[in-house]
Structure 1
Amino acid sequence: MPSDDSLLAIDCNDLTFAWRDGDEPVLEGINLQLDRGDCCLLMGANGAGKSTFLRILAGKRLTKTRNCRILGQDVFMNPPGGVVYLGTEWSNNPVVRSDIVVSHFLDSVGGYRHRARRDRLLQILDVDLDWHMHEISDGERRRVQLCMGLMTEWDVLLLDEVTVDLDVLVRADLIDFLKNESQTRGATILYATHIFDGLGEFPNKICHIQLGKTPRALVHWKPNQADLFKVALEWLREDRILRREKEEAKGRMRGPKTDSSYKDAQTFFEKYDYSH
């Protein structure tokens, strides 16, 4: 599709965000434009700002400037319909770990109104409607979340590491489903992940977030044009070198500290002796 502003699914221009006024920005000058039907991977190291960016796009964080739009609408002040955000924090909600049967849980969020898509996803994700939410594994609970979030027809899907708990077969079937949604319905997917196996044919674009910035132009990706894992590895090595340089310039360093206040086991246990 042509990159016309009226057709853009996601349009983010020069986004800068800090947790508090005066703090160093966690996102700075972020730019991302996606057309309808794009499947975009969001790559970056832990702490690069991927999750924060996705939550802003989902309308869950207020920014000072109005420079993020989805389907032509401001993501916070006038959020559009048809946007689904799925993140890892969902599994920490006590409700989804309570003694509720999966069929009742899905019906409580409208599953009965989307029976055909729900049943298709139940098969793809290998979900048992008779499971009790408090008895199943984290991976099975994640499958229920995906079924719940994907059973309505969405226009834009924001995924934040939600496939990390899935086994390789379920994950592969899910990726096929998502790719089909983009091809047949023109749905747009922005997917942050650190697992690149089997994704060589999934994206048509790749966005790199490096220490809160987008250091390179959006990569237009052709199926298996290169080893996706090696591309990610190269970028992450680059990210780590830059991060270490910045930390050293501020007098900070990760890993063991040579000037520790305790040098031996006795000193350590005396310092952290809570028996009294």
Structure 2
Amino acid sequence: MTADPVPATQANGSQVEHAIDCQSLTYSWVVGTDPVLIDVDLQLVKGDRCLLLGANGAGKSTLLRILAGKKLTQTRCCKILGQDVFMKPPGGVVYLGTEWSTNPVVRSDIVVSHFLDSVGGYRHKERRDRLLQILDVDLDWRMHQISDGERRRVQLCMGLMGDWDVLLLDEVTVDLDVLVRADLIEFLVSESETRGATIVYATHIFDGLKNFPTKICHMQVGSTPRGMVPWPPADVPSDKLDLFTLALGWLREDKVLRKDKEESKGRIRGPKTDTKDRVTFYQKYDYAH
């Protein structure tokens, strides 16, 4: 069993209180198979806002689900608010992922007001009502009749209306329109600055995020080679900050690395013309033959 990680220290010798402390995390879907996460490090203090960047399949969702206590790991190397995320999960942690909207329950014929009350909305009236305004949610909507974007707004209202301390977001803003997304980002920044809440946000959409993160974590083929990258960088003028260009450069690098890694194992991405199914795939609807 891996020993508990040693707490980091500040320059004055005092210990840093990590809201999220994940060190050297390695994880495989099945024991004995190649790991999908390799020596991942993610350490954030209270009030940090971390943007989790990486290509599809880099391990972002797996990491977030582990931090949320939804997957058991073989080592105790992930802690939130000082507690093991699976063996002793802390309170105050909210995970919002994309799978929620496909749940048949949230697509049933239920009025939004009743739905929010059923999950305790009446206990958080002030925050609930503020989020209803930010997310532009109509209490008279019926869950089975609204769009995916509107259903996503209800999910965010439901998840954020409590006094959470750590928020794990996995691509949940992809369905939102630009205005609602901008207002939500402003709300999240305020939560971190006024309450010391910690946020990890995985996304592929970088518009309007220049002032959101305090840290950036690059996930590259299951690992975190750059560690925690401070944002904004001290040596870059504010008018030159460009998250999209930074992410694009990293993703191009990831593509080359992934290709080399897969070829070393005899795997080739893309169309294959020399396989036994070649004729079926390429000529099935080719009427010239």
Per the normalisation by structure 2, the TM-score is 0.89
Q: 1:127 to 1:64 in 2, by over 3 A?
A: same
Answer yes or no: is 1:162 the counterpart of 2:178: no
Contact 2:42 2:227 in 1 (8 A): no
Equivalences for 1:63-74 in 2 at 5 Å? 63-74=73-84
Match of 1:126 in 2: 136
Alignment counterpart, residue 241 of structure 1, candidates 236, 256, 261? 256
Counterpart of 2:22 in structure 1: which amino acid?
C
- 1:17 maps to a residue whose letter is Y
Quick one: which amino acid aligns to residue 279 of structure 2? K
More moved, 218-227 vs 150-159: 218-227
Residue 267 of structure 2, aligned match among 227, 238, 252? 252
Instruction: Describe the superposition over 1:126-148 as per-residue Cα deviations: whole angstroms up to 9, x where unpaired.
Output: 00000000000000000000000
Question: Matched residue pairs, number?
Answer: 269
The gaps in structure 1 that reach 5 residues or longer are 270-276
1:54 aligns with 2:64: yes
CA distance in 2, matches of 1:222, 1:216: 15
Tell me what 2:218 maps to. 208
2:195 equivalent in structure 1: 185
User: Alignment partner of 1:131: what SS?
Assistant: coil
TM-aligned CA distance change 1:259 to 1:188, over 3 Å? same
**In the TM superposition, what are the counterparts of 1:86-235 in structure 2 within 5 Å?**
86-222=96-232, 224=238, 226-235=241-250
> How big is the shift at 1:119?
0.5
Residues of 1 paired with 2:227 and 2:127: CA distance?
Answer: 36
CA distance in 1, matches of 2:283, 2:254: 37
Consecutive unaligned residues in structure 2, runs of 5 or more: 1-8
- Once the two structures are TM-superposed, the CA of residue 253 in structure 1 deviates from its matched residue by 1.4
Q: Secondary structure at the match of 1:10?
A: strand
Could you tell me which amino acid in structure 1 is paired with residue 266 of structure 2? G
Corresponding position: 1:268 with 2:284: yes
1:264 offset after TM fit, Å?
6.9
Q: CA deviation at 1:185?
A: 0.3
Determine helix, strand or coil for the equivalent of 1:147: helix
Query: What secondary structure is seen at the aligned counterpart in 2 of 1:164?
Result: coil
Map 1:12-23 → 2, pairs under 5 A: 12-23=22-33
Distance 1:91 1:255 in 2: 31
Q: List per-residue Cα deviations over 1:68-101 (Å, max 9, x = no partner).
A: 0000000001000000000000011100000000
The one-letter amino acid of 1:263's match is V
**Percent pairwise identity:** 73
Deviation at residue 256 of structure 1 after TM alignment: 1.1
| SS of match in other structure, 2:284 | helix
**For 1:196, what is the secondary structure of its paired residue?**
coil
Mapped to 2, the partners of 1:264 and 1:214 lie a distance apart of 41
Q: CA deviation at 1:44?
A: 0.5
Q: 1:99 to 1:5 in 2, by over 3 A?
A: farther
- Structure 2 residue matching 1:48: 3-state secondary structure: coil
